[in-house]
Structure 1
């Protein structure tokens, strides 16, 4: 290619887009700008019917939009597009005219900010149409990547319709295998639970086999509860009050310990509590909060000359919460309320320093989000929190401290490698990310959130987001398939399937579906509880041992699974809670064999903290959070504690 041709190629977007910008700048008023769009729509050739298919659909648009791309002999991209809305066709025509003739690399260099030059205004570019406009660009960029010669990854998927569940890929097949459980297993579980009056509290992240059976059994035995960790202990108390004689806990050890302690505090010491394994069912995050480094971190907070507040993630033990609160005034948070908790603390207590922990990724993401908030207008910030503006958010940033040595091994799997793969192959899909994922995945979901195509938050937030998008799709008169990247623990898919199918069946829509995408890395891992790698194996790289001794060995066929560089987020500790273990424990309850379950009892909290039981002291930060959730303010007792400790320091 000659120098002149290279120069022509490099300026072709500016030239083509510049002429479109002049068309819009040559008129004034929303009606005139809309007319320009309609003229562009009229000049845009219609796609043939055989190209207006689901594979060419642009997700996230309220109207139907199709985009197709091909490469010409000179290595330039040629786009075609269409829509069933004339104004949207006009927007599609803008991209066809501006991007056709570019190389794939040039298309990928076009950023959304360039579109502001059109100055369409909110009357023409309504919020929904603006999101659709940005989604069109992302769809065209994805097709340019495919044409550039890059081999785009194809992740395992699970397609959910009203009547069917269709997996693609070995990992998805493993998830789908138990979504429709064996009726005999359900019957056996219901029989033993009801006869012996046993309650079950389980976390969302259980193995698919366990979740499938529990979800089906839940319809016949009311004392089964599957949720985030926040309400597991409360559910156990309700089960005890309803007459359950024992409660089995399917989760990691701090969850069963919390259940035991809260039952004791509620006067139900006679209700037995059982874990699902003799070995420790660890949690790297909870353990990080009990390490000396975290004690030192809190000591620095206690030595702070200004008022200090410790915001501790819910996924920690009551022991952690109690001992932390003894050092520094502490409030618990969840991934769905951490932003509002922190903003309120800075607004309510002058000059306060906030210490967040132990989840490093979540803390870093919180800091990134607040830096982004500081760039918004005062009006936008006030909509997020009425007591803040750009100046106040910028001023609080140096007073937000994040613990740097705590990670969840599950969310650590969503690293740089998988994030790049998601961006390349699924950037135009709906992106979900738990607040605990590494920054790369968090950034992708935050960017998608700007286009109303993403969510960052808790597992419940993710479930609610999927349900809301499905509701929107069902209200539209045309067929649709929503593609959703699941950026959290894969065990959550059971709750998603049940929610999606219930909504689709209630609506009677057979032409709408949700496709769940499981991001996985090329380097797969799985666990083998029966064989622990020897020290020699660990030393030469043939085996990995996770905190607590759980081994990790090369995994599923086809490279589908999890890796340290990103992956399917399947917690090996949670997967120690098997259906076999549950049935075995239940079988022994109320029999002479119950004596064999001593190792299955959670560790009891026996320490005293400032003259109170550890369970009682550990509940106080949770009660502060519940007070905040009710009033949207730090409770008066917590505020007084913050100020009082500093006065007496």
Structure 2
């Protein structure tokens, strides 16, 4: 018997034969009686199950295309199109006078029209509650429309058709909050909602500010590396300045240090780092490793630019986690790049350690298990990413070997199943930005944007990860790093550019809102190059409905920091100070990143090049560590796990030195009582 509150599966009988069909049961305090599968659905499933071979099922799909009623041309609008179909498809959903759902659909492909006809026949006339209770995956499986009938992309299109029908039914029957969004066209930006307006405000920067920055940077040979999570004001100016001064680079944290090395080798004598402190530390360490010790590196303030995730890894609890790993033979610590050099150095002194990013963590872990016998992997400190990895591996363990091997050729479902008990992850480390993408926010994404393209950073809570993975399975989602998200949006736009008709692509941005600048510039550049005015890209910001939207005013009318409930972190005032911050503690934009303002960059650049300025900037240098670890400086020791990752990135396998370290490292003696 199902436990209270658990979803249940219902086994029902179809005419003349028994079959399983899943109808979603609503969660409740007690198990409710099984819901009856509507007769129309049973009839459609029965017809397909009576077909003796794939050819008959294919012909039956085409028969349903012939049964579709005429679809008015005036309804063939971009907003009625179904995203994720390989051909044009439209769906119109309405309620009749009795409150039943009525569907109309069409496609310029007969096969897609047939799939639409199947859904129209099965779902028209249902109540909204009945339609929303249909489990699409189960329904499509019962139709048995596998590779013998149609390509996987067509089957995914059918799933997207159903997702669109259910989302539009929900909109007709439920008052759902709409998230703010930014509509991007070739020549314009149209923000919807105050949060989107704040993000769009600086996407077309002031030309005078751009010219001033370019003059300063070029005259003093200053390179700039910045993270995607910068404020739109800063990114807008930097992106425009990069067209005139090539030594400006905006990326995720992995690439920032490599870009700094290239700038230094090209003649830049100073590198300005716009990010949190572990990023400037990494830049300093990689420059030193490349022999570029004379190049100066500056942060944008003398104050600490923290990171909730990095700080979690410097806690006593994380040290205890590493000490447990040190007591386990054949252990490898995979540490997220978003940590300090101290964390990396200390960790490696206890357990062989390699850094990872959100884009390479899956391959790093799977390769390590494939390469080292009886390995135990300890991942940290990001709890959400660790849980998501465990969920991904659990799913892989139940998939066909050929699917597993598409992800990593050395693994099968059996090998993945075997590694599950030996994959550990830390339980108490979260990013205050990605924390927002869980709970109520995720549920609103599911209900209101289930047919949109869903993007999610690997650090988001499990609810959003699951939602994006479900979308990914039907070609509608991506889970990965900021670079992976940008590449996914560009790839879907490229597909649309290869088609000749008007479209609006809708993407839910499941990561920090600062990415919008890079997205806008990429999208508009592609639309301009293709000379397309009929394509639109809408970026949706899933901001929690309980977001803070009003800045508090301090004495004299100055904006004062807003304290987040349950946190000692203040939201720094700015163009969007406090905007999009959940009362639960998560924000759509990082308050730490807001410390990297345009004024701060200009002030640093103005001071570079003089003795007095250098003295004033002494506190702006990355944190210097005086203590040593294993005979190495903290910076040198902290660089070792980074270099292990660089080897893996280049060779696609762990270095011999790291493997030998894992297999020969003696178990640390137990401490404590």
Q: Above 0.5 in TM-score?
A: yes
Alignment partner of 1:605 out of 625, 628, 642 = 625
User: Displacement of 1:165 after TM fit?
Assistant: 1.6
User: Displacement of 1:155 after TM fit?
Assistant: 1.1
Question: What is the TM-score when the length of structure 2 is the normalising length?
Answer: 0.89
The 5 Å alignment of 1:390-409 reads 390-409=413-432
CA–CA distance in structure 2, aligned partners of residues 261 and 61 of structure 1: 47
Asked if residue 563 in structure 1 is aligned to residue 582 in structure 2, the reply is yes
Alignment partner of 2:118 out of 73, 94, 101 = 94
Partner of 1:460: 483
Question: What is the TM-score when the length of structure 1 is the normalising length?
Answer: 0.92
Partner of 1:144: 169
Asked if residue 637 in structure 1 is aligned to residue 661 in structure 2, the reply is no
CA–CA distance in structure 2, aligned partners of residues 546 and 70 of structure 1: 44
Partner of 2:502: 479
User: Displacement of 1:145 after TM fit?
Assistant: 1.2
Q: Structure 1 470/362 Cα, relative in aligned 2: closer, same or farther at 3 Å?
A: same
Q: Structure 1 91/461 Cα, relative in aligned 2: closer, same or farther at 3 Å?
A: same
1:307-329 Cα deviation digits (max 9, x unpaired): 10000001111221111111100
- Richer in helix (by share): 1
CA–CA distance in structure 1, aligned partners of residues 286 and 647 of structure 2: 18
Contact 2:549 2:579 (C-alpha < 8 Å) held by counterparts: no
Partner of 2:146: 121
CA–CA distance in structure 2, aligned partners of residues 599 and 530 of structure 1: 30
Partner of 2:266: 242
Partner of 2:369: 346
Partner of 2:593: 574
Q: Structure 1 647/560 Cα, relative in aligned 2: closer, same or farther at 3 Å?
A: closer
User: Displacement of 1:120 after TM fit?
Assistant: 2.5
* Structure 1 unmatched runs, 5+: 1-9
Contact 1:202 1:251 (C-alpha < 8 Å) held by counterparts: yes
User: Displacement of 1:554 after TM fit?
Assistant: 13
Q: Structure 1 390/267 Cα, relative in aligned 2: closer, same or farther at 3 Å?
A: closer
Asked if residue 283 in structure 1 is aligned to residue 307 in structure 2, the reply is yes
Aligned length in residues? 630
Contact 2:181 2:192 (C-alpha < 8 Å) held by counterparts: yes
Asked if residue 584 in structure 1 is aligned to residue 609 in structure 2, the reply is no
CA–CA distance in structure 1, aligned partners of residues 297 and 461 of structure 2: 35
Partner of 1:133: 158
Contact 1:524 1:555 (C-alpha < 8 Å) held by counterparts: no
User: Displacement of 1:556 after TM fit?
Assistant: 6.9
The 5 Å alignment of 1:333-412 reads 333-412=356-435
User: Displacement of 1:262 after TM fit?
Assistant: 3.0
Alignment partner of 1:437 out of 455, 460, 471 = 460
User: Displacement of 1:526 after TM fit?
Assistant: 6.7
For 1:21, what is the secondary structure of its paired residue?
A: helix
For 1:269, what is the secondary structure of its paired residue?
A: coil
Contact 1:419 1:566 (C-alpha < 8 Å) held by counterparts: no
CA–CA distance in structure 2, aligned partners of residues 493 and 555 of structure 1: 15
CA–CA distance in structure 1, aligned partners of residues 218 and 576 of structure 2: 37
The 5 Å alignment of 1:23-172 reads 23-112=47-136, 113-148=138-173, 150-172=174-196
Partner of 2:12: none
CA–CA distance in structure 2, aligned partners of residues 168 and 527 of structure 1: 18
Partner of 2:640: 620
For 1:202, what is the secondary structure of its paired residue?
A: strand
Q: Structure 1 527/276 Cα, relative in aligned 2: closer, same or farther at 3 Å?
A: farther
User: Displacement of 1:200 after TM fit?
Assistant: 0.9
User: Displacement of 1:567 after TM fit?
Assistant: 6.6
CA–CA distance in structure 1, aligned partners of residues 92 and 497 of structure 2: 25
CA–CA distance in structure 2, aligned partners of residues 505 and 97 of structure 1: 42
Partner of 1:193: 217
Partner of 1:3: none
Contact 1:527 1:553 (C-alpha < 8 Å) held by counterparts: no
Partner of 1:217: 241
Asked if residue 428 in structure 1 is aligned to residue 458 in structure 2, the reply is no
User: Displacement of 1:621 after TM fit?
Assistant: 1.2
1:198-240 Cα deviation digits (max 9, x unpaired): 1111111101010011011111111111111112222222222
Contact 1:262 1:615 (C-alpha < 8 Å) held by counterparts: no
Partner of 2:232: 208
User: Displacement of 1:403 after TM fit?
Assistant: 0.5
Partner of 1:255: 279
CA–CA distance in structure 1, aligned partners of residues 574 and 667 of structure 2: 56
